[in-house]
Amino acid sequence: MPKVAVLGQRDAVLGFKASGAVAFPANNPDEAQEQLDAILQGDYAILLVTEEIAEVLEKDLEPLYDMPKPVVTILPDARKPRGVGMELLRKRVERAVGADILFKGEE
């Protein structure tokens, strides 16, 4: 059975590790790259990535969005959420609808 992988800074993934996800701690871009390769080797249905790592690995994560597995989901950051995940959602809406209907009239 596939599992859930978490990729992020050490302190961000520890909590998930105890709650039933497989943790892949990475403290710098090179480590993150290695861990991503390791994750892609294994059987994971979901890959949770912290915002910080998602920004570093943006190019590597891009092709994954069109693959059946793993499904990449961006976690908000522990310290200061930057809304990377929301931004991604907004982009998709804009592409599909041709206009930004999601955040229209706000902010």
Q: In 3D, which of 1, 80, 74, 82 has the Cα closest to residue 42?
A: 1
CB of 54 to another protein, least distance (A): 13
CB of 84 to another protein, least distance (A): 11
Give the binding site for another protein (CB under 8 A).
1-4, 11-12, 14-23, 45-46, 48, 65, 68-69, 71, 73, 75-76, 78-79, 81, 85-86, 88-89, 92-93, 95-98, 101-102
**For residues 73 and 47, is the Cβ–Cβ distance under 8 A?**
yes
Kindly report whether the peptide bond that precedes residue 25 is cis, defined as omega within 30 degrees of 0.
no
Task: Look up residue 77 and give its amino acid.
Answer: D
Collapsing DSSP to helix, strand or coil, 77 comes out as coil
In terms of CB distance, is 59 or 96 closer to another protein? Answer: 96
CB of 28 to another protein, least distance (A): 20
